[in-house]
Amino acid sequence: MTNSTFSLHEQHEALKRLIEKFELEMHLVDVNPGPRQELERSLLQKQHDAELERHLQRFHSADLADLIEVLSSDHRKRVWDHIPTSRRGEVMLELADAVLESVVETMSREDIVAALSKLEPDDLTFLSDAIPDEAFHAALQTLTSEERTWVHTAATYREEEAGHLMASDMVILKPGQTMENVQAMLRTRKELPDHTDKLFVIDSRGHLIGALFLQDILLNESDTRVEKAMRERVVTFHPRDELDEVALAFERYDLVSAPVINERGKLIGRLTIDAVLDYVREESEKDALNVVGVVETEDLFARIWDSARNRWLWLGINLLTAFGISRVIGAFETTIAQLVALASLMPIIASVAGNTGNQTTALVIRSLALNQLQGSNFWHLLRKELAISLLNGIVWGALVGLFAFLFYQQLGLSIVVTVAMALSFVLAALLGVSAPVLLERVGRDPAMGSSVILTGMIDALGFFVFLLLASLFLV
Amino acid sequence: MTNSTFSLHEQHEALKRLIEKFELEMHLVDVNPGPRQELERSLLQKQHDAELERHLQRFHSADLADLIEVLSSDHRKRVWDHIPTSRRGEVMLELADAVLESVVETMSREDIVAALSKLEPDDLTFLSDAIPDEAFHAALQTLTSEERTWVHTAATYREEEAGHLMASDMVILKPGQTMENVQAMLRTRKELPDHTDKLFVIDSRGHLIGALFLQDILLNESDTRVEKAMRERVVTFHPRDELDEVALAFERYDLVSAPVINERGKLIGRLTIDAVLDYVREESEKDALNVVGVVETEDLFARIWDSARNRWLWLGINLLTAFGISRVIGAFETTIAQLVALASLMPIIASVAGNTGNQTTALVIRSLALNQLQGSNFWHLLRKELAISLLNGIVWGALVGLFAFLFYQQLGLSIVVTVAMALSFVLAALLGVSAPVLLERVGRDPAMGSSVILTGMIDALGFFVFLLLASLFLV
């Protein structure tokens, strides 16, 4: 790959060496104070600045963003200060949320406004959450009143709605134009908006009636009229559509761009694959973190205190479930005192049952995300998972029973372990299927902290089943 | 959204009602046998077939694939039989791996060859793993010898390499052509390959020298030469590039299509955003499942036996770690017998420490996937995570100590619990950072089964630290 992450890595190392060299040189001037120290410092500083700026110029904005994400916070500030104001807006668009916030914190209100003033209205909308209100409103004043209206409209949509991601820059045609007209019109522009694979055709009332692919302009004769060359079946979106659904549709129908229309069919904006791909990747990262209860996409180099607090919510919930588990075991302390082997066997049941429950949940969460679980499918899946877990529970339970017999030579204990294991597996499947489905029904993200809650509940149930059976039949 | 998953759901329900109606009608004929029963059956069957086919015609291939994925296996076969052979290849391309295999199993060799013969060579490569060898080779015979060579070449790349995803259909230009030439050439074609945002320019030796965007053909004057209008800085890939890196580059540089060149710079194929997006989504699903040890993307409606076996590997590993944990506790049975409160407190330490370890691992895995962890960053991150976990361990440990004091009124026990908790947190952070990094270094997927192994190790260590401290200081 050319222009790739491999060379990015090398560029990153080169930049770090550059900054370290600067720091060393400055240090040398400082520890060897001469009569012209101030002058030397200022000359060295100028030379450093020029070299750093020359170095940064070679980077693509997205690569600059990547670089900033992996720098420690003081190097981060150093690099940021040497990115020309005209480029900062673009780089800000590419930064991860948490890193963006740390960068914005170091900027003055004027810096922020200057950086934002180079951006399109939809990019401004995209950044709105990360920018202090006051600076954001000042940046809005650099737009035309039409663009300002656009930003205000887009701001009314939630972050998960198509309206939040839509862009205003698109090329619009009338059905009566010929290919020649269209091409002449295009030539008056210097460039087309990014990811323009098709132009949108509207009628006199602004309603979308079709789309003309760029390739169709090239493939048709020059006197062909737009209404003849355009395609009438276009996948369209409403601004209130959920972005998850939008992403599925982009993937399913292999879209590069798609029009957004309002309830009356009027064309109001455009969605493009790059924004959708960014969204998909961000969501999948967020999901991976959410499962274990890391709430936000955490900045790798955030302050320790911020990072620690970031994880407290789910650690707290985890602790509560753990206290619950502790009380379940506490209730059987007399049983354990009489047969201490129980204490060493109980984690086996909880751990393996917890794992099978997590496997089931992962499958169910995926199916929910892909819209595969609807109506009667739920019962089919539940029955299937219960059957699998009963089968697995008996097989693995027997193995654990055998292990228990080898160590303690008590047949009763082995049987209780086997039965407890099979029961725990079935309970784990029941919870593993129903918990995410219930969460989804009540409108919560089923991936959020699922492993914490689920493992806690399965542990508690597993200990309870095992210790109850033991207290009934063994002591 | 028009043509959306909402209507897909309705279409799915309508189709199921249709099939159920058919089954009922057939059943009625069967339970009321008349003199002309055979004739009635055959008429009814014909009518059903026609109605089902008419219904299926309205579906986009990708929607058909989605539909098939959520149908139970007998309905799945019924629907599949009524998809025209000419469309089956396209639908097969969209099916999830496991579902594709279940569909292929029901097809005869002739059916498979007929379905595949409608596909492009690169699509055939994409399906190669799911098709029985014999049928695949028969399908190859329907290609031209040039296309066959292509398939054989593409087959030499691993599934994670760019070469495996690249397509052969692209438009190639010479630098000397004018815009008018190019447009005249394009008009002789009926359509351009999907996701053609740019045409590739090669020199006389077949080396890539630039790319001409469709929009540049439209925006430039008709006598402009290709070499003047083309862009020379093009992001290119090599066939051996890892697809993870490719996906990052597509996202970073907002690409729609990109050329693949060999070591000598010769243009050999093309990558497109739709294939990359499919890959990203499939990987992120696989990752989510891998973490809990569900090895393959499992078909929601696979046979119970297949699904059960699918999960055995990691359940087995889980059981081994659980046996290990059991032995750790077993070694302290005399301690527990003397102070049974230990049995009820130890799961708290293991569970919360296991969770904090999983949080750390999730962050590290994400950073590895985004290429953010390199060289000196590792030590920075490790120090940071150790600091966070020590901080959290002391805070939460004190809380658990308080809880223990409330229930058992033994100051010694409370102190031991607090110290054990803090130590376990630090150990969890150490493992949480180093385990995925080590796995990555030795070339294994760090997400694979990480939660199983990590939780097991942290549990064992947590129990050991707690029981050891208790046996040293309490009994």
Which tokens in the block code for residue A217? 């302009």
Claim to verify: residue A154 and residue A230 sit in the same structural domain: no
Whole-angstrom distance, CA of residue B312 vs CA of residue B319 = 10
Contacts of B319 in chain A (CB under 8 A): 348, 352, 396, 399-400
Cα of B218 to nearest chain A Cα, Å: 6
Task: Check A358 against B326: CB less than 8 A apart.
Answer: no
| HEC string for chain A | CCCCHHHHHHHHHHHHHHHHHHHHHHHHHHHCCCCCHHHHHHHHHHHHHHHHHHHHHCCCHHHHHHHHHHCCHHHHHHHHHCCCHHHHHHHHHHCCHHHHHHHHHCCCHHHHHHHHCCCCHHHHHHHHHHCCHHHHHHHHCCCCHHHHHHHHHHCCCCCCEHHHHCECCCCEECCCCEHHHHHHHHHCCCCCCCCCCEEEEECCCCEEEEEEEHHHHHHCCCCCEHHHHCECCCCCECCCCEHHHHHHHHHHCCCCEEEEECCCCEEEEEEEHHHHHHHHHHHHHHHHHHHCCCCCCCCCCCCHHHHHHHCHHHHHHHHHHHHHHHHHHHCCHHHHHHCCHHHHHHHHHHHHHHHHHHHHHHHHHHHHHCCCCCCHHHHHHHHHHHHHHHHHHHHHHHHHHHHHHHHHCCHHHHHHHHHHHHHHHHHHHHHHHHHHHHHHHCCCCCCCCHHHHHHHHHHHHHHHHHHHHHHHHCC
Contacts of A253 in chain B (CB under 8 A): 3, 60, 62
Q: What is the mean pLDDT of residues B338-353?
A: 90
Q: Are residues B208 and B318 in the same domain?
A: no
Chain B residues 12-41 with CB within 8 Å of chain A: 12-13, 16
Nearest one of B292, B297, B439 to B368, comparing CA atoms: B439
Percentage above 70 pLDDT, chain A: 93
Kindly determine whether residue B187 and residue A220, on different chains, have CB atoms separated by under 8 Å: yes
Residue B297 lies in a domain: no
| N- to C-terminal Cα separation, chain B | 68
Residue B299: pLDDT above 80?
no
Domain check: are A21 and A139 in the same one?
Answer: yes
Residue A288 domain flag: no
Shared-domain flag, residues B184 and B42: no
Query: What percent of chain B clears pLDDT 70, i.e. is strictly above it?
Result: 93
B 268-297 residues inside an 8 A Cβ radius of A: 273-274, 277-278, 280-281, 284-285, 287-289, 291-294
Distance CA A264, CA B417 (A): 65
Does the CB of A388 have a partner CB in chain B at under 8 Å? yes
Residue of B nearest to A390 (CA): B308
Q: Taking residues B197-226, report their average pLDDT.
A: 92
Whether the CB of A238 is below 8 Å from some CB of chain B: the reply is yes
Q: Domain containing A181: what range?
A: 172-274
Weakest mean pLDDT among A155-169, B4-18, B405-419 = B4-18
Examine the domain organization and report whether B10 and B156 are in the same domain: yes
Residues 113-172 of B with CB under 8 A from A: none
The per-residue pLDDT of chain B, averaged, comes to 85
The structure tokens listed for A187 are 């030539």
Name the domain boundary from B99, B134, B160.
Answer: B160
Q: Name the one residue in this structure whose structure tokens are 């399913």.
A: A252
Q: Which residues contact B81 (CB under 8 A, 6 or more apart)?
A: none
C-alpha dist (Å) from residue B465 to A33, A263, A330, B390, B458: 54, 63, 20, 15, 10
The contacts of residue B408 (CB under 8 Å, 6+ apart) are: B341
Q: Which residues pair with B231 in a beta bridge?
A: B211
* Chain A hits for B470, Cβ within 8 Å: none
Residue of B317, B326, B386, B400 to mutate when probing chain A, most A C-beta within 10 A: B326
**Burial zone of B321 (CB within 10 Å; 0-12 exposed, 13-18 middle, 19+ buried):** buried
Binary contact (A341, B333; C-beta < 8 A): yes
Helices B341-369 and B376-408 cross at an angle (nearest 10°) of 160
> Any chain A CB within 8 A of the CB of B86?
no
Terminal C-alpha separation, chain A: 68
Same domain, A132 and A14: yes
Q: Do B292 and A355 touch (CB under 8 A)?
A: yes
Q: Closest by alpha carbon to A236, among A227, A226, A252, A249? A: A249
Residue B301 counted as domain residue:
no
- In this complex, is the C-beta atom of B257 within 8 Å of any C-beta atom belonging to chain A? no
- Phi (first) and psi of residue A208, to 5 degrees: -70, 130
Taking the C-alpha atoms of residue B72 and residue B76, their distance in angstroms, rounded to an integer, is 6
Which of A2, A285, A307 lies nearest to residue B388, judging by beta carbons? A307
Say how many CA atoms lie within 13 Å of A39 toward its Cβ: 3
Distance from CA of A159 to the nearest CA of B (A): 17
For chain B, give the secondary structure using H, E and C. CCCCHHHHHHHHHHHHHHHHHHHHHHHHHHHCCCCCHHHHHHHHHHHHHHHHHHHHHCCCHHHHHHHHHHCCHHHHHHHHHCCCHHHHHHHHHHCCHHHHHHHHHCCCHHHHHHHHCCCCHHHHHHHHHHCCHHHHHHHHCCCCHHHHHHHHHHCCCCCCEHHHHCECCCCEECCCCEHHHHHHHHHCCCCCCCCCCEEEEECCCCEEEEEEEHHHHHHCCCCCEHHHHCECCCCCECCCCEHHHHHHHHHHCCCCEEEEECCCCEEEEEEEHHHHHHHHHHHHHHHHHHHCCCCCCCCCCCCHHHHHHHCHHHHHHHHHHHHHHHHHHHCCHHHHHHCCHHHHHHHHHHHHHHHHHHHHHHHHHHHHHCCCCCCHHHHHHHHHHHHHHHHHHHHHHHHHHHHHHHHHCCHHHHHHHHHHHHHHHHHHHHHHHHHHHHHHHCCCCCCCCHHHHHHHHHHHHHHHHHHHHHHHHCC
| Residue A367 pLDDT grade (very low, low, confident, very high; cuts 50, 70, 90) | confident
Sign of CA dihedral A86, A90, A95, A97: positive
* pLDDT > 90? residue B120: no
CB contact under 8 A, A189 and B452: no
Tell me, what's the pLDDT at B61? 86
Paired residues of A178 in beta bridges: A225
Per-residue confidence at B7, pLDDT binned at 50, 70, 90? low
**Residue in chain A nearest B421 by alpha carbon:** A319
Which of A249, A388, A459 lies at the smallest CB-CB distance from B4?
Answer: A249
Contact B263, B207 (CB under 8 A): no
Query: The domain spanning residue B44 has which CATH number?
Result: 1.25.60.10
Q: Is residue B344 part of a domain?
A: yes
List, for residues A17-57, the tens digit of each pLDDT value.
888 888 888 888 888 777 787 888 888 888 888 888 888 88
Mean pLDDT of A80-90: 88
What is the ipTM for the molecules in this complex? Answer: 0.71
B186, B358, B403 member nearest A323 (Cβ): B403
Q: Which residue matches tokens 């819209």? A: A371
A50/B contact by beta carbon, under 8 A:
no
Q: Which of B231, B300, B372, B392 to mutate to test the interface with A (most CBs of A within 10 A)?
A: B300
Q: Which of A134, A159, A184 is the last residue of a domain?
A: A159
B118 and B213 assigned to the same domain: no
CB contact under 8 A, A292 and B362: yes
CA distance A164 to A150: 11
State the best of A286, A340, A381 to mutate against chain B, taking most chain B CBs within 10 Å.
A340
Put simply, whether A187 touches B (Cβ < 8 Å) is yes
B153-167 burial, b for 16+ CB within 10 Å, e for fewer? bbeebeeebbbbbbb
Task: Return the structure tokens found at A183.
Answer: 């091409």
Greatest Cα-to-Cα distance within chain B, rounded to the nearest angstrom:
95
pLDDT mean across residues, chain A: 85
Instruction: Indicate if the pLDDT at residue B419 is higher than 90.
Output: yes
The Cα–Cα gap between A93 and A100 comes to 9
pLDDT in the model for residue B211: 95
Higher pLDDT, B150 or A88: A88
Over residues A124-137, mean pLDDT: 84
Do the Cβ atoms of A288 and B287 come within 8 Å? yes
Q: Number of A:B CB contacts under 8 A?
A: 388
Instruction: Locate the chain A residue with the closest alpha carbon to B373.
Output: A70
Position A420, amino acid: A
| A382 band by pLDDT with thresholds 50, 70 and 90 | confident
Q: Which residues on A lie below 8 Å from B245 (Cβ)? A: 1, 4-6
- The pLDDT value given to residue B4: 41
- CA of B178 to nearest chain A CA: how many angstroms apart? 14
Residue A76 has pLDDT above 90, yes or no: no
For residues A23 and A123, state if they share a domain: yes
Write down which residue in A253, A274, A295 finishes a domain: A274
Domains contained in chain A, number = 3
pLDDT at B6: 43
From the CA of A318, how many Å to the nearest CA of chain B? 6
Would the CB atoms of B319 and A217 count as touching at under 8 Å? no
Residue B399, pLDDT > 90, answer yes
What residues contact A84, with CB distance under 8 A and at least 6 apart?
A53
**Residue A358 pLDDT:** 84
Across A66-80, A218-232, A292-306, least confident range: A292-306
Residue B284 counted as domain residue:
no
pLDDT computed for residue B8 by the predictor: 61
Distances (CA, A) of A257 to A199, A272, A475, B134, B246: 10, 4, 70, 40, 21
CB B399 within 8 A of CB B460: no
The more confident residue out of A450 and A181 is: A181
Which of the four pLDDT bands, split at 50, 70 and 90, describes residue A305? confident
Instruction: Check B330 against A362: CB less than 8 A apart.
Output: no
Whether B135 and B89 share a structural domain: yes
Q: Are A332 and B346 in contact (CB under 8 A)?
A: no
Q: Look at residue A292 in the predicted model and tell me its pLDDT.
A: 62
Q: Are residues A140 and A184 in the same domain?
A: no
Distance from CA of B146 to the nearest CA of A (A): 26
Of B1, B277, B392, which has the smallest distance from its Cβ to A238's Cβ? Answer: B1
CB contact under 8 A, A308 and B388: yes
Taking an 8 Å cut-off on Cβ atoms, the answer to whether B372 and A280 are in contact is no
Across B31-50, average pLDDT: 82
Residue A263 sits in a domain whose CATH number is: 3.10.580.10
- Residue contact B387–A186, C-beta within 8 A: no
Question: B5 pLDDT band (50/70/90 cuts)?
Answer: very low
Contacts of A63 (CB under 8 A, 6+ apart): A8, A11, B252
A71 with A189, same domain: the answer is: no
Do residues B288 and A364 touch, judged by C-beta distance below 8 A?
Answer: no
Does A343 reside within a domain? yes
What was the pLDDT predicted at A5? 40
Q: Please state, in angstroms and rounded to a whole number, the distance separating the CA atoms of residues B47 and A257.
A: 41
Domain assignment present for residue B290? The answer is: no
Judge if A61 and A180 occupy the same domain. no
CATH number, domain with residue B404: 1.10.357.20
CA gap B425, B390 in Å, rounded? 6
All residues of chain A having their beta carbon less than 8 Å from the beta carbon of residue B218 are 183, 186-187, 192, 214, 217-218
- Residue B102 sits at the chain A interface (C-beta within 8 Å): no
**A337 in contact with B at a CB cutoff of 8 Å?**
yes
Q: Is the dihedral of CA B390, B395, B399, B405 positive or negative?
A: positive
Q: Which of A188, A318, A385 is best to mutate for the B interface (most B CBs within 10 A)?
A: A318
Question: Do the domain assignments include residue B295?
Answer: no
**Distance of alpha carbon B27 from alpha carbon B36, whole angstroms:** 15
Q: Which 367-386 residues of chain A touch chain B by CB within 8 A? A: 367, 369-377, 380-381, 384
Given a cut of 60, is residue B432 above it in pLDDT? yes
Question: Smallest CA–CA separation between A338 and chain B, in Å?
Answer: 8
Phi then psi for residue B381, to 5 deg, are: -65, -45
Residues from chain A that touch B301, judged by Cβ atoms under 8 A, are 380, 384
Structure-model confidence comparison of residues A59 and B267, the more confident one:
B267
Chain B residues with beta carbon closer than 8 angstroms to that of A351: 318, 321-322, 325, 455-456, 459
